[in-house]
């Protein structure tokens, strides 16, 4: 077994605290990774605090992992010691169902195995995430990271990056298309970067006028204040694609109405109250609503290679491990531009 | 002007009654049609009774029209006197916007002109529908009907037919795909016939066990009772496409959950209460919800030609004009298999 230092939630009420545990010894297809950086995703908070129910404790959160290969199993062919690698939201899946066979392990019919807050496929080990010194992961679920990228700023690509890249690709966003991104947070700011890089004409839609300057800095061409009913009305039937990254409770009709003929509303956020929508708005322009969840391993590698090519990373604030509880409080207040990333050397 | 006999709603409370009015004289691009049959769509009742608001009276309902060409304008080239023709849900549109230019006049940016309960593009004439002896329509909005088809049974193709054909084609239904049709009424029974004709494995989903025998008679391969929670659960992630024809209030999550990876929930009904849906259900299988409204003129002609080729028509109960108010009452009770069609020779 491999000793690991970490920060963990021991129950849903307590702040995260130092925690020691053991990773499995590396098997023939495993890669042992020394964790350098780990992004802090809003879902880390939801799960640490059991806000979605069913949380498993002790819980070491973190699924935006960047590290260096320390050791490899005898059958590992893709990686060598010293390689810069990433681990995202999943560390396993059945590998044989029709969705896994189509490189969409995130939609595995048996359910993908999450990087943390999950039971591994041995049926007993609690999967533990990236707020830790080391992780052991099956080769197939390890991604290659280019040395061209700043490793701290690349960490959020493993969740926020692929979560926004995948639906924009699925919607087949083309140069010149009008794309809106709703919500400028960890997900939204990556959505803007990708949509701009695809050559789209990009609008940020936000409830907060203070986001306009940043939207422009990130490359967006327009800003639309969603509380300005007159401006919203002017954008009726305007967009080809809208990427809705908001997890706060909201209905879909307001954004559906902004879509042109056959426009697509891409949903990646998870409001806790079920949104309603106007069937009239859907029907009168053949609009659609499409859900999307992270991306498959092949697509994640494609996204990482694309980011290396285009020099796309996340805007991050690097923090020491000890700052995590304060970081959580600031995230709840949306006081981060746009992702905290833990420097694990501080552990 | 051309005298027309008809049945009309004079206000939202009164039963339909005999009514006389005048159609415009035929212009150079117009076709004058002697109406033989007209289907009775549930939207006729909603509009006659002002249940959607904004109704224009006097109102001659009816937008599933089959007739014979009586006369043609000087520039008309597609039709000759005596031809069997159809008129559907729209009789005009701007003809020049990008949606009209893509043969999707139903999504005209200026708004299509409905066959009734609408103001024609002269800005003053009330468009009057098919519960009448004669109609004058621009050539472009007139469809050609094959003599191979029973003209009474073909009438509902103009609305119920195209409303279900278009989304199934848009969803690219393929042989062997698992397709469910929710609701076995005027729309649903046409959806079953089309999906079966496309080679799909078709299931009817209904709240009513009494629909099973008919579902099978119409060609469906399976029947799923939506009130049987155990059976519904067994069909989780089962279907590739679900055509939801229900206009009664309902949420979408129950049907979304039945869709497999990248499955499509096609919406053609208009519940009055906004449906809610689970974003979790959307996201975890990359499912989508797609709205659709009738079809363009070219696509309607394609559907009619397809029906002539495959001998697809609606199941109808032909009624005299004088029976219309009783027919409305029976439709409200879902007591029709599956479409009333008025024989206008009884007028």
Beta strand extents in chain A (DSSP E only): 2-8, 17-23, 30-40, 65-72, 84-87, 90-92, 113-114, 118-119, 126-127, 134-138, 142-144, 178-182, 201-206, 222-225, 239-244, 259-267, 288-291, 316-320, 339-343
Two tokens at B282?
A: 């959307």
Instruction: Give the residue among A22, A18, A15, A41 at the shortest CA–CA distance from A342.
Output: A41
Mean of per-residue pLDDT scores for chain B: 97
The CATH number given to whatever domain includes residue A226 is 3.40.50.720
Instruction: Name the domain count of chain A.
Output: 2
Q: Tell me which of B171, B282, B296 to substitute to probe the interface with A (most A C-beta atoms closer than 10 Å).
A: B282
Two tokens at A102?
A: 């189509």
Measure CB to CB from residue B274 to each of A276, A283, A290 and give the nearest one: A276
Mean pLDDT score, A161-189:
98
Q: Tell me which of B290, B294, B295, B299 to substitute to probe the interface with A (most A C-beta atoms closer than 10 Å).
A: B290
Q: Considering the domain boundaries, does residue B128 fall inside one?
A: yes
Two tokens at B127?
A: 């468009």
Q: Considering the domain boundaries, does residue B302 fall inside one?
A: no
In 3-state terms, what secondary structure has residue A315? coil
Q: Are residues A287 and A332 in the same domain?
A: no
- On chain B, the residues whose CB falls within 8 A of the CB of A285 are 107, 291
User: Pairing relation of β-strands A178-182 and A239-244?
Assistant: parallel
Return the bridge partners of B63, or none. none
Q: Are residues A214 and A284 in the same domain?
A: yes
Q: Are residues B171 and B212 in the same domain?
A: yes
Cα distances from B202 to residues B171, B222, B230, in angstroms, run: 15, 6, 20
- Pairwise CA distance, residues B28 & B49, whole Å: 35
> Do you know the residue count of chain B?
347
Chain-chain contact of A279 with B275 (C-beta, under 8 angstroms): yes
Q: Are residues B214 and B264 in the same domain?
A: yes
Residue B65 CB partners (closer than 8 Å, separation 6+): B33, B35, B37, B38, B86, B87, B88, B115, B129, B130, B135, B155, B158
pLDDT at B301: 98
Are the beta carbons of A88 and A294 closer than 8 angstroms?
Answer: yes
Q: Considering the domain boundaries, does residue A31 fall inside one?
A: yes
Chain-chain contact of A278 with B277 (C-beta, under 8 angstroms): no
Are the beta carbons of B81 and B72 closer than 8 angstroms?
Answer: yes
The nearest CA of chain B is from the CA of A142 a distance in Å of: 22
The nearest CA of chain B is from the CA of A314 a distance in Å of: 23
- Pairwise CA distance, residues A215 & A203, whole Å: 8
- Pairwise CA distance, residues B6 & A11, whole Å: 74
Q: Are residues B8 and B149 in the same domain?
A: yes
Q: Are residues B136 and B270 in the same domain?
A: no
Helices and strands, counts by H and E, chain A: 11, 19
Q: Are residues A197 and A115 in the same domain?
A: no
Q: How many CA atoms lie within 13 A of B264 on its CB side?
A: 20
The CATH number given to whatever domain includes residue B81 is 3.90.180.10
Q: Considering the domain boundaries, does residue B112 fall inside one?
A: yes
Whether A286 and chain B come into contact, CB under 8 Å, resolves to: yes
pTM of the model: 0.96
Q: Are residues A98 and A228 in the same domain?
A: no
Are the beta carbons of A332 and A345 closer than 8 angstroms?
Answer: no
Whether B290 and chain A come into contact, CB under 8 Å, resolves to: yes
- Pairwise CA distance, residues A95 & A346, whole Å: 36
Q: Considering the domain boundaries, does residue B307 fall inside one?
A: no
Measure CB to CB from residue B107 to each of A268, A285, A293 and give the nearest one: A285
- On chain A, the residues whose CB falls within 8 A of the CB of B170 are 286
Q: Considering the domain boundaries, does residue A309 fall inside one?
A: no
Q: Are residues B6 and B154 in the same domain?
A: yes
Residue A271 predicted with pLDDT over 90: no
- On chain B, the residues whose CB falls within 8 A of the CB of A270 are 279-280, 283
- Pairwise CA distance, residues A160 & A316, whole Å: 12
Q: How do residues A178-228 score in pLDDT, each as one tens digit?
A: 999 999 999 999 999 999 999 999 999 999 999 999 999 999 999 999 999
Chain-chain contact of A279 with B291 (C-beta, under 8 angstroms): yes
pLDDT at A116: 98
Chain-chain contact of A286 with B291 (C-beta, under 8 angstroms): yes
In 3-state terms, what secondary structure has residue A272? coil
Q: How do residues B208-230 score in pLDDT, each as one tens digit?
A: 999 999 999 999 999 999 999 99
Q: Are residues A129 and A275 in the same domain?
A: no
DSSP character string of A230-269: HHHHHTTT-EEEEEE---SS--SHHHHTTEEEEEEEEE--
Q: How do residues B297-335 score in pLDDT, each as one tens digit?
A: 999 999 999 999 999 999 999 999 999 999 999 999 999
Chain-chain contact of B283 with A293 (C-beta, under 8 angstroms): yes
- Kindly state the percentage of chain B with pLDDT values over 70: 100
The nearest CA of chain A is from the CA of B70 a distance in Å of: 34
Whether B97 and chain A come into contact, CB under 8 Å, resolves to: no
- Pairwise CA distance, residues A265 & A291, whole Å: 8
Q: Are residues A8 and A155 in the same domain?
A: yes
Residues 185-244 of B with CB under 8 A from A: 237
Two tokens at A189?
A: 């700011």
Residue B270 predicted with pLDDT over 90: no
Q: How do residues A118-153 score in pLDDT, each as one tens digit?
A: 999 999 999 999 999 999 999 999 999 999 999 999
Whether B248 and chain A come into contact, CB under 8 Å, resolves to: no
The range of the structural domain enclosing residue B94 comes to: 2-159+314-346
Chain-chain contact of B288 with A283 (C-beta, under 8 angstroms): no
Q: Considering the domain boundaries, does residue B235 fall inside one?
A: yes
- On chain B, the residues whose CB falls within 8 A of the CB of A275 are 276-277, 279
Chain-chain contact of A286 with B251 (C-beta, under 8 angstroms): no
Backbone angles phi, psi at A344, to 5 degrees: -70, -10
Q: Are residues B10 and B126 in the same domain?
A: yes
- Pairwise CA distance, residues A31 & A134, whole Å: 11
pLDDT at A218: 97
**DSSP assignment, residue A190?**
H
Q: How do residues A323-333 score in pLDDT, each as one tens digit?
A: 999 999 999 99
**DSSP assignment, residue A202?**
E
Chain-chain contact of B285 with A107 (C-beta, under 8 angstroms): yes
Q: Give the alpha-carbon dihedral of A15, A268, A142, A196, to 10 degrees.
A: -120
Whether B295 and chain A come into contact, CB under 8 Å, resolves to: no
- Pairwise CA distance, residues B168 & B162, whole Å: 10
Q: How many CA atoms lie within 13 A of A76 on its CB side?
A: 25
- Pairwise CA distance, residues A90 & A271, whole Å: 22
Whether A281 and chain B come into contact, CB under 8 Å, resolves to: yes
Backbone angles phi, psi at B99, to 5 degrees: -75, -45
Are the beta carbons of A67 and A129 closer than 8 angstroms?
Answer: no
In 3-state terms, what secondary structure has residue B194? helix
Are the beta carbons of B268 and B170 closer than 8 angstroms?
Answer: no
DSSP character string of B68-120: EEEEE-TT--S--TT-EEEE-SEEE--S-SHHHHTT-GGG-TT--EESSSEE-
In 3-state terms, what secondary structure has residue A155? helix
Q: Considering the domain boundaries, does residue A306 fall inside one?
A: no
Are the beta carbons of A143 and A88 closer than 8 angstroms?
Answer: yes
Residue A5 predicted with pLDDT over 90: yes
Residue B272 predicted with pLDDT over 90: no
């Amino acid at each position: 077994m491999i000793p690991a230092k970490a920060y963990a939630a021991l129950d849903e009420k307590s702040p995260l605290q130092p925690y020691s545990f053991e990773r499995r010894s590396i098997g023939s297809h495993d890669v042992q990774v020394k964790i350098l950086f780990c992004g802090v995703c809003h879902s880390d908070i939801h799960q640490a605090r059991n806000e979605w129910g069913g949380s498993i404790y002790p819980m070491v959160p973190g699924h935006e992992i960047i590290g260096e290969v320390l050791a490899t199993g005898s059958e590992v062919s893709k990686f060598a010691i010293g390689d810069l690698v990433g681990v995202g939201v999943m560390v396993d899946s059945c590998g044989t169902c029709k969705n896994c066979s189509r490189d969409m392990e995130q939609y595995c019919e048996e359910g993908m195995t999450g990087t943390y807050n999950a039971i591994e496929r041995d049926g007993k080990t609690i999967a533990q995430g990236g707020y830790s010194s080391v992780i052991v992961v099956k080769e197939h679920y390890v991604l290659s990271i280019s040395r061209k990228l700043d490793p701290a700023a690349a960490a959020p690509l493993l969740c926020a990056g692929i979560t926004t890249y995948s639906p924009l690709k699925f919607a087949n966003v083309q140069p010149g298309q009008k794309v809106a991104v709703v919500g400028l947070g960890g997900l939204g700011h990556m959505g803007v970067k990708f949509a701009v890089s695809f050559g789209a004409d990009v609008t940020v839609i936000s409830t907060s006028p203070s986001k306009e300057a940043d939207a422009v800095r990130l490359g967006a061409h327009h800003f639309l204040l969603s509380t300005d009913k007159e401006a919203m009305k002017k954008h009726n039937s305007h967009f080809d694609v809208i990427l809705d990254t908001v997890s706060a409770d909201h209905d879909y009709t307001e954004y559906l109405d902004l879509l042109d003929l056959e426009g697509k509303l891409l949903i990646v956020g998870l409001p806790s109250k079920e949104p309603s929508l106007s069937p009239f708005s859907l029907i009168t322009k053949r609009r659609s609503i499409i859900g999307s969840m992270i991306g498959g391993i092949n697509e994640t590698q494609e996204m990482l290679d694309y980011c290396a090519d285009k020099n796309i990373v996340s805007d991050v604030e690097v923090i020491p491990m000890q700052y995590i509880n304060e970081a959580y409080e600031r995230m709840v207040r949306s006081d981060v531009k746009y992702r905290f990333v833990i420097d694990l050397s501080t552990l």
